[in-house]
Amino acid sequence: MSSELSPIDKAKFVCAKRAAQFVENGMRVGLGTGSTAAWLVRCLGERVRDEGLHITGVPTSTRTAELAREVGIDVITLDAAKRLDLTIDGADEFDGAFNLIKGGGGALLHEKVVATSSDRMIVIADVGKEVETLGAFPLPIEVIPFGLQTTHALVDETLVSMDVLGRDSSLRMDGDKPFVTDEGNHIIDLHLKRIGDARQLAMTLNQLPGVVENGLFIDICDTVVLGFGDGKVEVRDINDGTVASERMVFAESDNLFSDLSD
């Protein structure tokens, strides 16, 4: 398998596979969105099939829901699950305090609702996602369709007084139309380069009328499982400050993951 995957895909696969080991029988699990989370869903499907693991999953997007059903995971709504034991999701960036930028795939709103309804959030990330300061990755904000241009202008105006290095913004497109989220909203990407005060920015953005949510996840993530291209994984926990390193062993059956690309 390892010869068929690029180092970045190997890194995504090993962190997902390691994180899947945190899931125990009977758990209600929030299932993230994106290419790394897709590996996780496949790994959990493998455990359901091979070990008879019984879990219920709460997907954070229609894409993830489809994949979860496909691999044999029981899917329920967040309201049916109520509190979740664990959410495992990818990230676009994470810093030393485990604060995140999420939403590169446009699922930030459901992801934040699901993660904050969970006793624990584990982020799975390849090593390229680790940053000293958040902001190189464009920060997505979800906005309602009504008054889109007015909200966009208000966001731009607000950025002028924020502690950031760049102040460009762009409406995310899907071909020649604005990208539409699972909630029927749109995404504005903020090209900030460097975010000085992420907590303040997150609060300020969410106070703007028309803005539903932003992609900054502050004090939500408990654990980061970091994957490297050579099969190494690091499990870092923010609560007890531990870092554990190990190497994942690839099994023959892992070949089934080689055709996964998202």
How many residues touch ligand R5P (CB under 6 A)?
18
Q: Are 9 and 34 contacting, i.e. CB atoms less than 8 angstroms apart?
A: no
Q: Are 90 and 128 contacting, i.e. CB atoms less than 8 angstroms apart?
A: no
> Residue 60's closest CA among 18, 117, 22?
117
Residues 149-188 that bind ligand R5P (CB under 6 A): none
Nearer of residues 157 and 219 to ligand R5P, judged by Cβ: 219
What is the distance of C-alpha 73 from the center of its chain? 19
In whole angstroms, the minimum distance from the beta carbon of 210 to ligand R5P comes to 20
Q: Which stretch binds ligand R5P (CB under 6 A): 14-22, 30-38, 141-149, 250-258?
A: 30-38
In whole angstroms, the minimum distance from the beta carbon of 14 to ligand R5P comes to 13
Nearer of residues 227 and 231 to ligand R5P, judged by Cβ: 227
Q: Are strands 121-126 and 93-94 parallel, antiparallel or unpaired?
A: unpaired
Contact string (CB under 6 A) for ligand R5P, positions 86-105, x = contact: ---xxxx---------xxxx
Nearer of residues 104 and 135 to ligand R5P, judged by Cβ: 104
62-70 vs 35-51: helix crossing angle, rounded to 10: 30
Asked whether position 67 contacts ligand R5P by CB under 6 A, the answer is no
d(CA 91, CA 139): 12
Q: Are 43 and 146 contacting, i.e. CB atoms less than 8 angstroms apart?
A: no
Nearer of residues 81 and 125 to ligand R5P, judged by Cβ: 125
H/E stretch holding 178 reads strand 177-178
In whole angstroms, the minimum distance from the beta carbon of 26 to ligand R5P comes to 25
What are 201's strand-pairing partners?
A: none
Provide the annotated active-site residues.
111
Residue positions in the annotated binding site?
Answer: 33-36, 89-92, 102-105, 129
In whole angstroms, the minimum distance from the beta carbon of 89 to ligand R5P comes to 5
What does the radius of gyration of the chain's CA atoms come to, in whole angstroms? 18
In whole angstroms, the minimum distance from the beta carbon of 262 to ligand R5P comes to 6
d(CA 45, CA 14): 15
d(CA 100, CA 82): 24
Among 5, 18, 33, 152, binds ligand R5P (CB under 6 A): 33
Nearer of residues 184 and 241 to ligand R5P, judged by Cβ: 184
Task: Catalog residues that contact ligand R5P under the rule CB under 6 A.
Answer: 32-37, 89-92, 102-108, 111
